[in-house]
Amino acid sequence: MYKIQKKIIITSVVIAFFVGASANAQHYQQNIDKNSLVTFKHIMQGLLSETKMITQGIILEDFTLINDATENIINHPKPAMSQRKKLMKALGDDIATFKGLDHIVHRGAMKIQQAAKDKNMVVVIAEYQKLITGCQSCHSTFKARLSKALL
Ligand code: HEC
């Protein structure tokens, strides 16, 4: 008798856990979709303005401007779930290459920011070049193909 009771309790706990977890997952997913209407293109347009700001910061030797612009690149908004799904589908096995190029830009922005904090313009420019190369490499490899897939 005791054994059966124990089994029932364990089973109900397990069921409760799964029901709870899936409700939570659904809630989470809805939250992401509702809150984020950000398209990949929006993020890219933001990256361009921030990159222009870095250029301006270099020309005017304004390290604060460089610092702020890189901060916005490092913490750029995440694309909406629907956009991410399209991206993954279109990328297939090329996802690693894509992520690698994304990583170059992120790391570049972090290095530029550190150099701006150190007020070291030589390093800012060296890292800026790597960042731009990262933008351009991804565009020449993926932009045409993904532009279509992201519509
Ligand atoms: C990992 C890949 C990747 C990297 C890195 C990347 N881009 Fe892009 N970019 C794309 C893709 C894909 C598109 C096409 C998006 C679309 O059409 O929806 C794009 C489009 C753009 C556009 C055109 C947006 C429009 O209005 O059509 C701009 C501007 C842009 N990127 C700027 C940048 C800048 C600046 C950087 C670097 C700081 C950068 N991108 C880095 C993949 C990348």
Which residue's entry shows tokens 């890219």? Answer: 44
Q: So what's the pLDDT on residue 2?
A: 61
Domain that holds residue 21: 1-35
Dihedral sign computed on CA atoms, order 122, 123, 124, 128: positive
Kindly list the distances between the CA atom of residue 95 and the CA atoms of 13, 100, 126, in Å, as whole numbers in the listed order.
39, 8, 27
Q: So what's the pLDDT on residue 74?
A: 97
Whether the predicted model's global pTM rises above the 0.95 cut? no
* Ligand 1 proximity of 101 Cβ (cutoff 6 Å): yes
Provide the number of structural domains found in the chain. 2
55 and 27 assigned to the same domain = no
31 and 43 assigned to the same domain = no
Residues 6+ apart with CB under 8 A from 125: 58
Q: Which atom of ligand 1 is nearest to the CA of 145?
A: 12
* Ligand 1 proximity of 48 Cβ (cutoff 6 Å): yes
Which amino acid residue places its CA nearest to atom 43 of ligand 1?
138
pLDDT of the chain along its 151 residues, tens only?
Answer: 566 666 655 555 444 444 444 444 443 444 444 567 899 999 999 999 999 999 999 999 999 999 999 999 999 999 999 999 999 999 999 999 999 999 999 999 999 999 999 999 999 999 999 999 999 999 999 999 999 999 9
50 and 83 assigned to the same domain = yes
Give the domain CATH number at 104: 1.20.120.10
